[in-house]
Amino acid sequence: MTNTSAGPPLAGLVVVDLSQFLSGPYCSLRLSDLGARVIKIERPDGGDLCRSLYLSDTEIGGDSTIFHAINRGKESLAINLKDPDEMSVLRRLLENADVLIQNFRPGVATRLGIDYEAARQINKRLVYASISGFGQTGPWVKRPGQDLLAQARSGVMWLNGDESHGPVPFGLAIADMFAGAAAAQGILAALVRRGITGEGGHVETSLLEALVDFQFEVLTTFLNDGRRLPSRSNFRSAHAYLSAPYGVYPAADGFLAIAMTPIPKLADLLELEELDAYRDDPKTWFAERDAIKAIIARRIAERRIDEWLAILEPADIWCAKVMNWNDLLESEGFQVLDMLQTVEREDDVSILTTRSPIRVDGKRNQVTGAAPRIGEHSAAIRAEFGL
């Protein structure tokens, strides 16, 4: 039986977010979407540096669109972390907090006097989350914990693209987002334990660790296969360890993705006698994948995507049109998910953005507030907590 009367699962929890840019704020966004109250600590003079990190020349209410996307529904408390009096304000706030998130470079939190041990002395029930670039020890500790650099060191960039193309970075900040998601998982687990023991804990992750975990499937194959580096396909590559036809093919009016499919079945549907030589030996589907995919590509290019889908989908072939964002938004499959929302602010800022990907008891938590102005809630928060 679905519980439709309960509120969001994290309602009543107070999260103090000292992080900036993407990894930490993505973590607190997930907690906010589950009902937590997120108080974002920002420098009075400029706030989160992400406010001026522009993905394009679009600015809304004086801030970048990426800042709005990642900080919707949060409150902003302006505190100068270099001012001892202001730091005492933060410490008093932590007495009332459930979670603290920080993504300072290793050593900075200790210099500021808000490392885990110091925070634990303030509030033993506090769940403290640290996100770094490359961990807390080792030769990379002082290197910039930036997404592209983490992709470069992790292997994911090397793994992408055709064999002859060289490294291909993801078109998204995957290290930041996966690290934020991992931190959120750790926080939720620590909160469950706190409900049993009464004590908080220290959750740690890094961009590199998140990307290593992201590759657990292929890394496990590599580690147990004599550490042989895989050879990526040199034609329409989509996965280093999967055989033909796995890949993306240009059709007459766009691109068609075809996943795992037996070559004989696909040969019959595409009416490709050229594939007869590969019917009886599945080992060739990997060993000769470039040649096989080249044959398939020539055939797919002859017709439009909807023509191929009309043939392949009824036969239960795993395939899909490659959509751009306009295609996605116009599709019924996207529209039924109800994944967009408008968030607003009193200074006439209105943002159309995404919603939480998580439904609890059949409902997504609704967030109506846009990302805050720097220190927008300072006075109210100070009064509420006696700061």
* DSSP state at residue 363: B
**Which residues, 6+ apart, have CB-to-CB distance to 351 below 8 Å?**
60, 65, 68, 69, 72, 342, 343, 344, 370, 371
Order of all β-strands in the sheet with 75-78: 75-78, 37-42, 14-17, 99-102, 127-132, 201-206
Indicate if the alpha-carbon torsion angle 208, 211, 212, 213 is positive or negative.
Answer: positive
CA dihedral 301, 304, 307, 309 (to 10 degrees): 80
Residue 176 annotated in active site: yes
Closest CA to 300 of 271, 324, 337, 261: 271
* DSSP state at residue 251: E
Phi/psi of residue 64, nearest 5 degrees? -70, 160
- Pull the structure tokens for residue 351: 């943002």
- CA distances (Å), origin 159, targets 19, 83, 153: 30, 46, 11
CA distance 275 to 296: 9
Question: Do the beta carbons of residue 366 and residue 73 sit within 8 Å?
Answer: no
Helix (H, G, I), strand (E, B) or coil at 168: coil
Select which of 48, 63, 176, 225 is catalytic.
Answer: 176
* Cis amide bond preceding 314, omega within 30: no
Alpha-helix residue ranges (DSSP H) falling in 101-215: 108-112, 116-122, 147-154, 156-159, 174-197, 207-214
Annotated catalytic residues are 176
